[in-house]
Chains A and B, each alone.
Chain A
Amino acid sequence: MTGLQTLLEEAAEHPAEHPAGLDVAADLRRGHRALRRRRARWAALGVTGGLVVAGGATYTALSVHHETTTEIQPTDGPTSSAPLRTTYFDVPTPPPGWHVVGDRPQYVMISRDGSDADLDTFAGQLVVMLSDGKEDYGVGSVEHFDGRTFYVNTENADDTILAVRADDGNWLQLQYPRTAFEVHTMVVYLDGVRLKPGAQPALG
């Protein structure tokens, strides 16, 4: 019999084989650059928001507000069971190891802790979306929960997309990495999502 841990220890190579592996200064420099880029990006987002407001004189104040991006500051403590209130949606507390990145009128982005995925990176993330009710998202297998019908679309290679009718007649959808969660867990999660004034369906 062979110990798997022993084999893995051997395969991982002994620390003595990593003489060049410790360059703290280089890691610090990379960190500094990344932090500067992140701060610059935030500053740019602020400018973009301002330009949208300035250029959107013909829109109502509400529609201008829809163009802005809201960043939810991640929490570090234990998650609570209370819903998280973003600007356009109330969502249940994300699963352990995940946090809300932010929202737009059409969706809420939820990412793994430690991931640098931003508000526009969809692959591999949990995404709660509001989609046009005129589209046909009632495809895939069916799950019933809480008196509602959830459609489970597994056509995508990596992600499953759940769909359920929202109170306003549009579709509420949840995209999630298929191998990361059980369907029922995500059905319960999506069932807990609530729309707020200003939420808008993505078209097409």
Chain B
Amino acid sequence: MRQEIRDAEFSEYVAAQRVRLVRTARLLTAGDHAEAEDVVQVALTRLYVYWPRVRRADDPVAYGFRALTNAFLDERRRAHRRREVPTEITPDTAEPAVDHETRSTVLAALHGLPPRQRAVVVLRHFLQYDVAATAHALGCSEGTVKSQNAKALNRLREVLGAPLTTQEGPNR
């Protein structure tokens, strides 16, 4: 396809989706801003390279979040092979006034989850994907999503020390 068309469509996509991608990446990385930005850049770069496939996808937005999740899991896998120790959560400076205590608590709780469980929580409860869409995004079975989600929620309830409500219905 012609590069100017690819560039124009990709730019429009980035303008519409980048902030949401970054927010999602910050949850996936449990508040590691640098890694979140890296993951977003990797995902967007892949999207550009495979743009003809993205634009023909049934849901290009979902395709982007799938690429983001895979970029995060790839990075976690590489980190595991390097035997890296996860870094401390370090908030950026000069942020607007927000509830830092809540944010830190939730990010620390996410930090305690294995990467794939964290991805399930973010896809299911932040992006509000249903089980099937989450399974598709992660390339696994719906049963795996359900079991990983249950384990993650139990863990989050323990760590947060409070009951959690979710939007889950019987098939969500």
> Which A residues form the contact surface with B (CB < 8 A)?
1-5, 7-18, 21-22, 24, 27-28, 30-32, 34-35, 38, 74, 76-77, 95-98, 112-117, 123-124, 158, 179-182, 185
Contact = CB atoms under 8 A, between A and B. Distances in A.
Contacts of B172: none
A35 B70 contact: no
Given A2-B162, A27-B41, A27-B48, A97 B18 contact: no
Contacts of B66: 97, 112-114
B165 A2 contact: yes
Interface of B is mostly: helix
Nearest to B137: A97
B49 A34 contact: yes
B131 interface: no
B126 A12 contact: yes
B11 A24 contact: yes
Contacts of B128: 5
Interface in B88-144: 95-96, 98-99, 102-103, 106-107, 110, 116, 121-122, 125-126, 128, 135-141, 143-144
Contact of B144 (A11, A97, A124, A179): A179
Nearest to A114: B67
A5 B11 contact: no
A28 B18 CA distance: 13
A179 to B, nearest CB: 5
29 contacts: A1-B163, A1-B165, A3-B164, A4-B121, A7-B160, A8-B122, A10-B98, A12-B23, A12-B26, A13-B23, A15-B20, A18-B22, A18-B23, A27-B10, A27-B44, A30-B45, A31-B10, A97-B138, A97-B139, A114-B66, A114-B70, A115-B46, A115-B67, A115-B74, A124-B73, A124-B74, A158-B80, A181-B140, A181-B144
